[in-house]
Amino acid sequence: MSDEKRELPRFSPARTPAFSPTRSAFRNRVPKQIRRALPVYLICIVVFLFITNVGSLGGIRMPTISRREPSNFVKQKPLQYGTYFPKKIWQSWKQDPLNFEERDLNTARTWIAKNPHYRYEVLTDNNDIAYLEQFYGHGTAINRPDIVEFYQKINATIIRADMLRYLIMYAEGGIYADIDVEALRPIERFIPERYDEKDIQMVVSVEVDEPEFNDHPILGKKSQSFCQWTFMSKPRHPVMLKLVDGIMKWLKEISHQQRCHISEVVLDFDQVIEGTGPSAFTAAILEYMSKKVGKKVTWHNFHQLYESKLEAGILVLSVEAFAAGQGHSDSGNHNARGALVKHHYHASLWPSKHPRFNHPVYGEVEKCNWDPACVKRWDDDIAAWGSLSTEEQQAKINDKQTLDNLMLPLPLAIGV
């Protein structure tokens, strides 16, 4: 062979020229183990980048996988005050919306129409226990099975209804409205613009503002109260649970006094108002405010309230907001800009089972509708009644019955 014959390059087993300055330098600087694992590392990086960015590629979104917790909600975390009120509308009734009467359906639709971006739910006589077991049963975040057990013992519909609204608001919050309450304005109007929603935990409205009757034997405890047929609350507000515990204690005391089971307790109108209704609601709120601000808060703080007032995180609206058109307490009318809801009262038939004090001749003082002259005349008549003999009293009762019969349609008057 001649001296000019060139030496052919040697090849590695991979058939790649063995002589390469760049490759040789790379091999000298990087350990063999890392060189072997490098392709795997590169593949992992590419896959990671694909997963994290695939949602932005052509509008593709990775599916969200959720896992339902067990029915006893052992792992459920307690809700706390949030920045905003939950966008949830609550109502309760004896039957579900598919079976609503037309009047109830019409009022319910106003809430959905005015607030299309809110959730809407109705608790009924058939699913209320299941709801309470979910949030208050043994092992849940609230873990108050005694409440569920007590609730099941109650037979009085109005007591269950009052208690249920407080339990709903404590568990989940949102806005509660009785089934006969119509929405006149969107819920966003419930909080004036000058307030920051994060500073508010409840929104209520004045219902009765007639403190001049504070000492009246019948009207006194009802003369100054907040409305509870409509109100808003964030979850876990202590006023709600305080009301529930107060109702339980109150009913146990009455059942002990009447020597009967809780399911057999007999209550009149004023006992319901004071024990579970607006009077109880108002007392719990004022007590909470007092503890929160460190001094006694009384109804005087909200008498003749012409614009909203924030006290201890509770926003109090004027009577016109939730209780317009009552004919008392300077409540205005439903055409006013400040009127937010309208109460139709067609579901308020519970007094027929829990009657007011009704004098056989002079009737119910509540029919005066807080008119001072009418109430004074009723009081004077009741005072004079006590000075009459039994015969004179019976004669007045007979005269009243005769007059009532004359006022009836003829078939009813003659008993047909």
Q: Is the pLDDT of residue 20 over 50?
A: no
State how far the Cα of 401 lies from the Cα of 416, in Å rounded to an integer: 17
pLDDT of residue 45: 67
Q: Is the pLDDT of residue 44 over 80?
A: no
How far from 91 is each of 72, 244, 295, CA to CA, in Å? 24, 18, 35
Q: What is the mean pLDDT of residues 200-204?
A: 98
List of residues 6+ apart from 66 with CB closer than 8 A? none
pLDDT, one tens digit per residue, over 255-265 is: 999 999 999 99
Task: pLDDT band for 406, please (50, 70, 90 cuts).
Answer: confident
Bridge partners of residue 359, in order along the sequence: 363
Of 81-90, 121-130, 399-408, which has the strongest mean pLDDT? 121-130
Q: Is the pLDDT of residue 251 over 70?
A: yes
pTM of the model: 0.79
Task: pLDDT band for 48, please (50, 70, 90 cuts).
Answer: low
State how far the Cα of 299 lies from the Cα of 38, in Å rounded to an integer: 76
Q: Is the pLDDT of residue 327 over 60?
A: yes
**Mean pLDDT computed over every residue of the chain:** 86
Q: Is the pLDDT of residue 321 over 90?
A: yes
pLDDT of residue 405: 86
Q: Is the pLDDT of residue 9 over 90?
A: no
pLDDT of residue 409: 66
Q: What is the mean pLDDT of residues 151-178?
A: 97
Q: Is the pLDDT of residue 16 over 60?
A: no
State how far the Cα of 110 lies from the Cα of 51, in Å rounded to an integer: 45
